[in-house]
Amino acid sequence: MSERLLPASPNWYCSRSSDTSPKGVFGFGAKSSVYLVNVTAASPVIAGELKGHRERVSGFAFCRYPGQEEICASSSDDGSVKIWDSQKQATLKEHKAHQSTITSLHWSPVVKDLLVSGDEKGIVVCFWHNRNETQSFFPEPRTIFCLSCSPHNENYIAVGYKDGMIVVIDISRKSEVLHRLRGHDDEIHALAWCPQPGEEELLPRAEETAEAEVANGRKVPDGERGCYLASGSKDQTVRVWSTARGKGVMTLKLPFLKRRGLGVDPTVKERLWLTVHWPHTRPTQIISSCFGGELVVWDLTRSGKQKWALLGSSSEGQNHTRIVFNMSSVCMGESRELLISTSMDRDVKCWDLETLDCCWTLPSLGGFVYSLTFSPVDTGSLALGVGDNMIRVWSTLSIQNRYDTKTFWQGIKSKVTALSWHPLKEGHLAFGTDDGKVGIYDSYSNKPPQISSSYHRKTVYTLAWGPPVPPLSFGGEGDRPTVTLYSCAGEGVILQHNPWKLAGEANDIDKVIRDTNGIKHKLSPHTDLSWKPDGEILAIGNEDGSIEILQAPALRLLCSIQQHHKIINVLRWHHEHGSQPDASHLLASGSNNATVYVHNLKSIIETPSDTPVLVTEPYRSLVGHTAKITSLAWSPHHDGRLVSVCYDGTAQVWDVLKEEAICNYRGHRGRLLCVQWSPVDPDLVWTGGDDFTVQEWAVSKQEHTKPPKGKKSIELEKKRGLQPKPKAKKKKKPAGKGHVAGDQGGRGAEEGASEPEEEQEDVPVKTEHTPTTAAVSKEPRCRQPDAIVSEKNRNGGKGFSFVARESLKDEKQREKQAEAPVKKKKPRSILPLSTSMDHRSREDQQRDCLTLAAVRHSQALPSNCVPGSGAHIQLGLFGDRAALYTMFEEEGRSHIEGGHYESLNSLLLWKGDLAGALQVAIEKGELTEHLVAVSPMAGYQVWVRAVEAFVKQLCFQEQYVKAASYLLSVHKVYEAIDLLKSQQLYREAIALAKARLLPEDPVIKNLYTTWAAILERDGHYSNAAKCYLAADSTYDAAKVIAKKGDVMSLKTAAELALIVGENALSNSLALRCARELLTAQDWLGAREVLQAQESLLGHQLVFCTSELLHQCLAGTKLIDWGSASSHGWTVGSGVPFVDAVAVVWEREFGVSSADVDKVKLLHQQVKSVENPAATANIPIKQLLFHLSHDLTLAVLSSVALARGETVTAMLGALTRCRDATHFTLMRELCRLLLPKGMQSVSSLKAQLDHTDTHSIAAVQSLEAFVCYFQLYEMWWNQSNERPSETQPEKAALPQPSVAGLQRDAQNPSEPAAVNGTGPQDTADEEQGAIPTEEGSDTLEEEPCRSQEAMLASACAVLISETHAALQTTRSVIEEIQLRLSSMMQQHLHTAATPEEQQKELHALPESGSEHEATAASQSGASTAESTSLTSLIASVSEYNKQLAEIPEHIKRYPFPDVIECCLVILHMGRDSASALPEDLQRRCLALLHKYGTAASVIKARHKFCA
């Protein structure tokens, strides 16, 4: 459950989608849910959510019967009506009696189990849920808009229709219509009954006397008392009706308020929803909505024109700003009544009807929540970027109003997808939108935002403030801004905006990156960026999954992280104020795969290399999510605590340093898009998603630890599936008189603005488009074979012969008709008017002869006679040319009116007016190929214009290839290419360009690269690579092939990069491919890939070492060894692993000590690859590969005769196993490296330079680990030799910790079973077994040495006082630092007086921490002595001095835990069979007394030494 929540917006254009219970619970429908809010006069509290509908909630109502106030009902566009228990938030009953969309719902105030609903077909359904019975009524064949049950008569229901009709029906008389109330002439939006029965005398109106005799229904008998009914309509009037007399008694016209603005014509119907409400405690007052969101109280008893008063008129900003849809009220005590209203402005407001003032406002959200960000200056100000084209700034720390929110909408006009607060200027908020706009708002001002003149072409994904880079970084301090704004958008470009001059041109930082790093190839499109908090380093995420780390201000490339192989969605740097020194260099990243990777870039940033470093291993991998990661946030209160949100609908909190999941939040219904950690409370996190909500939740209160998997994940998918899916919009006819274009007031646009989110770019889910009704209902004229089969199936196999016979009969009939002689249709005359004159009577035709004779042979023409025109048009054919042209003009006008342009063109061509014919054809879009072909006869310019016009006409007809061919005819090659390109006919465009343009023309390269980008986006990587190769973008060709990430693609990409000369890229891809093959244990394939890269010989050696290591460990069951695809290399028994590997290298790779320079170069190449430190959760395959790397360095050092480095590398491998807590592997590795145990160590020591203190210290540490394993082996053998005691099962080697010895102190007869793989895996496998004497494969010792001598020798090495002091001092410093960090965090968040804080500080040491006891003991102070913050800091300083006095070569190399070894030795000494020298025991006791001061060690010491 969330702590606080901003809900989705109440649904629009519903007559009753919200209601308030008598107990003060307000419910409203939002999308497909119902939100419940506890109403008080002070503030709202969201109590829960009713989930279950699949589509929009269209109605909601509470039961008002005493004792059942928690029961409520809802209706939905999915056709269901549900009964709910609002306290348990569970469904009680459901019915689906409606066949059409439900438009209204009401719970009878009189009958406790009667629920009434109406639909758009005019059906009224009554549902008695106690007896589960439904009854349908059909009073009128009209669309129902609203209905209301009478509060005084259980059988009366008032129904309002779309056409303005109101009927009152009696359901006890089979829906008999009591009254038809006519008066409104448009939609009825709301009906409200007077709460008081009877009809008291209201102020008489003019229309009452005029309509006194007009009856609208039957007269109610004198014995029945009527009741007033109020109605609100789109015709801008509120009417009060008498149900006793069946007529209207009062008409209230909405006032035109000044706030609507000047110049508005009151006669024009605006977008209006007129809802009415009759308060429970005020029978003489009606509340109605108005034009612009105002609420009006009408006093029905007041005389004069001013019968109304305005709610919220006492101060500005109280009213809604857009139309109001629903109102309901609740009585708080005897005299106070609160009114709740919902509006198109997405606010829910509470009003006090006594004072007419607004008590509180609950904001809501009308779109996806894309972005959340807390202000770094004004703590607690949370900015929300929402898909309803608005920004909200929420003051989350406000005490009086928990939902104190300010809304910004000016200048946005699109979804707000990115936000970022200015790091220094309070109230300055940068925003980015879905249409590519970037701007800056001043949240403390009412001014419109500043908008950048540089727009992105696609959605803005990320905004970030950072230091200026060139060219803005040039100049003095006063000449440039301290920070600039960076924006990254969907087209893959990052722009730098100058906040001082947003009207200026923004800079693309890719130019700086190219110039600084000398990059010639195309950069991968960018998808995210993140500045390190100190402003020195910029991280950029790319579409191909790579991450680039750049150093400001020149943006020099330090390293490239090739971990993700999918588009990067989010990057986040760790904060700078952590107690861990490495924490500030942690970079978390999330992509379209479900894993969050964290990289530690400390060494790369502090000691940058001359050339960019390639990072392929993460510092931590956070695995658990099941979909793409969308946002990340580091906790500002902890070290290494991260929260991630994902498309799986959950938010996950991680402990990054331990690589563990802490908690999982599942309160959202959809995909999560953004997350922020509270800047003031370390336990609170804020998340937003596509369920239109922002939720605040506590980490400590979550019951789940990890994201859901398996069935739980499926349940979440089903839960998200309950959300409404976008439907295809149906075109509806205008609603009638007064319809305004774009009006969303009609029912057809009910959710047009309430649910504007139909994600296109960042939601990869494909939506299924259902065919329209018209398409489904259309039947083909001829029955198809599949239709026949389906009909056969419907008829159970019968009727097929009938259908076949019918179709045969039809076919024969068609054949006969085809054989019959077809009468040719006479072509239409080109001179239809003059032709029609030939069909007149003979008398008229003879009169024409006389007229024609007079025209040709007489000087005086008959009156009103113009040959070729009017009634004498037919004479134009027989007169002169002028008469003929006149006839042509008449005929031409007739052709235009009839649309016969081809005939008109023929007339113009006959006339010789070719230009005129072309002009007419161009204007009418009736050009033909014939006209274009003859157009050169009119001149060159006419021909060109005709071709261009014909091209436009062909494009309109979607004949683009033909259009391009016509452009070529007028030598417009570039235009033809652009035309094909604009229609994405890239293949044709390229063919044309290469055929007609010069090879070096940049248009050809642009076509290839543009087509390649589209092919790459659609997943056609091979074709995209061909395009890049043709465009000479070889780097991009290799990258795009590798994008798929499988072995074949990586291998092909590496070979391609090698062929084209991109050697660095080829090496990187070959390594990735080899790693994939290594994972599958395809050793031959991996070597084949690496052999093609001459510069990767060092990595070939690493893979060879890895194969040999796997082969040696195959018998231990630590790994699954598959030898099907391996080399025939073997390692001899008893031969040190290092020497055996060197032999294989010399034989297979030619690497030997004869070529020392080559060996040194290989050593340098292998050493340049950095592997992260091992953790307890590292997979065994990854650990083995890292060990292979360390062992390769050891072998190379051995071949180069650098014995000191050999020892150091071997020790590093053993240390990596210890850090991974895999002690079984550590023992096996020790056996491989030192097969003769101490004899092998002595041999190594003899080869070292004794003046080299570091080499001697390293071999001593190596010797100590060998002795450590001998010590535990002797302890095990000693335990096995006790016949009287039960022998435990074989256990793995012990984990070096005092905790295990504490357990042994309670049962000292058994040795400590250790950790490595868990006790269940250690019973019968070699992984954890220390073999007995028979068939022993343990570390070989000198045969002449007795057990006592071996023990004494081992103890002499392990009992090192210098190392004991070092280990204890480091432990004490670490514990004191942890305590200091805890104290600082505690006092930062404790609002106490200085006296209380000092008192608390003095009281802290009395809590009994064992670490504090250790510190006090080491300093010689009493454990009861109070410690202050100052003394703790002084203690740390003192211990650091002691630590500095210890030689560096001692501190550099790891050593077994000395205190642990002392305890084991003393434990073994208790057995009389083991004769330990007394001086040895005394040394152990002395070390324990001096350094073993921890509580756990003291307890174990008392047990072991008793």
Over the stretch 1295-1306, which tens digit does the pLDDT of each residue have? 444 444 443 433
* pLDDT over 70 at 781, yes or no: no
Lowest mean pLDDT among 811-815, 1077-1081, 1251-1255: 811-815
1117-1135 confidence digits (pLDDT tens):
777 766 667 777 777 666 7
Write down the pLDDT at residue 755.
42
663-686 confidence digits (pLDDT tens):
999 999 899 999 999 999 999 999
- Reported as a pLDDT band with limits 50, 70 and 90, residue 1098 is confident
Write down the pLDDT at residue 1282.
53
Write down the pLDDT at residue 215.
42
1194-1208 confidence digits (pLDDT tens):
888 888 888 888 888
In the block, which residue shows the tokens 């005769």? 1201
349-371 confidence digits (pLDDT tens):
999 999 999 999 999 999 999 99
Write down the pLDDT at residue 713.
54
Write down the pLDDT at residue 1505.
62
In the predicted model, what is the mean pLDDT of the chain? 80
Lowest mean pLDDT among 270-284, 376-390, 879-893: 879-893
698-715 confidence digits (pLDDT tens):
999 999 999 988 544 545
49-66 confidence digits (pLDDT tens):
999 999 999 999 999 998
Q: Could you give the angle at the alpha carbon of 1196 between the alpha carbons of 1191 and 1199, nearest 5°?
A: 125
Q: Which residue has the higher pLDDT, 781 or 665?
A: 665
Write down the pLDDT at residue 1252.
76
| DSSP-based three-state secondary structure for 644 | strand
Lowest mean pLDDT among 167-171, 407-411, 928-932: 928-932
Write down the pLDDT at residue 176.
85
* pLDDT over 80 at 301, yes or no: yes
**Amino acid at site 153:** N
Lowest mean pLDDT among 199-213, 532-546, 688-702: 199-213
Write down the pLDDT at residue 1471.
61
Query: Residue 1408 burial by CB count (10 A; 0-12/13-18/19+): exposed, middle or buried?
Result: exposed
Q: Which residue has the higher pLDDT, 997 or 1324?
A: 997
600-609 confidence digits (pLDDT tens):
999 999 999 8
How far apart (Å, rounded) are the C-alpha atoms in residues 401 and 405? Answer: 9
* pLDDT over 50 at 463, yes or no: yes
Alpha-carbon torsion (919, 922, 924, 926), positive or negative: positive
**In the beta sheet, which residues pair with residue 624?**
none
Q: Which residue has the higher pLDDT, 1233 or 568?
A: 568
* pLDDT over 80 at 1287, yes or no: no
Task: Phi first, then psi: give them for residue 1448, nearest 5 degrees.
Answer: -65, -35
Tell me the two tokens of residue 1468: 């073994």
If you average pLDDT over residues 434-451, what whole number do you get?
92
How far apart (Å, rounded) are the C-alpha atoms in residues 286 and 279? Answer: 7
| DSSP-based three-state secondary structure for 529 | strand
How far apart (Å, rounded) are the C-alpha atoms in residues 1348 and 1278? Answer: 12
Write down the pLDDT at residue 1329.
34
Which of 847, 846, 851, 853 is CA-nearest to residue 866? 851
184-237 confidence digits (pLDDT tens):
999 999 999 999 888 876 654 434 433 333 344 444 444 356 899 999 999 999
If you average pLDDT over residues 1090-1110, what whole number do you get?
86
Write down the pLDDT at residue 1472.
47
- Reported as a pLDDT band with limits 50, 70 and 90, residue 33 is very high
Write down the pLDDT at residue 418.
97
Estimate to the nearest angstrom the gap between the alpha carbon of 1402 and the chain centroid: 48
Write down the pLDDT at residue 42.
86
Write down the pLDDT at residue 1349.
66
* pLDDT over 50 at 266, yes or no: no
* pLDDT over 90 at 628, yes or no: yes
Write down the pLDDT at residue 307.
85
Task: Phi first, then psi: give them for residue 707, nearest 5 degrees.
Answer: -60, 155
Write down the pLDDT at residue 1178.
86
Q: What is the 3-state secondary structure (H, E, C) of 338-401?
A: EEEEEECCCEEEEEECCCCEEEEEEECECCCEEEEEECCCCCCEEEEEECCCCEEEEECCCCCC
* pLDDT over 70 at 1308, yes or no: no
Return all residues near 238 (Cβ < 8 A) that are at least 6 apart: 230, 231, 232, 251, 252, 254, 274, 276, 286, 288, 298
* pLDDT over 90 at 167, yes or no: yes
If you average pLDDT over residues 1346-1362, what whole number do you get?
71
* pLDDT over 70 at 387, yes or no: yes
1218-1259 confidence digits (pLDDT tens):
888 888 888 888 888 888 877 777 777 787 777 777 778 888
Contact of 414 with 435, CB cutoff 8 Å:
yes
Lowest mean pLDDT among 597-611, 1088-1102, 1111-1125, 1436-1450: 1111-1125
How far apart (Å, rounded) are the C-alpha atoms in residues 1263 and 1256? Answer: 10
Write down the pLDDT at residue 823.
54
Write down the pLDDT at residue 148.
96
Taking the whole predicted model, whether its pTM rises above 0.85 is answered as no
Alpha-carbon torsion (1394, 1396, 1399, 1400), positive or negative: negative
450-462 confidence digits (pLDDT tens):
999 999 999 999 9
Which of 1082, 1043, 1048 is CA-nearest to residue 1065? 1043
C-alpha distances (whole Å) from 68 to each of 85, 331, 719 are 9, 17, 28
1131-1152 confidence digits (pLDDT tens):
766 678 888 888 888 888 888 8
- In the chain, DSSP finds a helix count (H) and a strand count (E) of 41, 57
If you average pLDDT over residues 394-422, what whole number do you get?
91
Question: What is the percent of the chain with per-residue pLDDT over 70, rounded to a whole number?
Answer: 80
Return all residues near 252 (Cβ < 8 A) that are at least 6 apart: 237, 238, 239, 240, 286, 288, 298, 307, 308
C-alpha distances (whole Å) from 563 to each of 767, 1068, 1074, 1428 are 31, 12, 15, 46
- Reported as a pLDDT band with limits 50, 70 and 90, residue 627 is very high
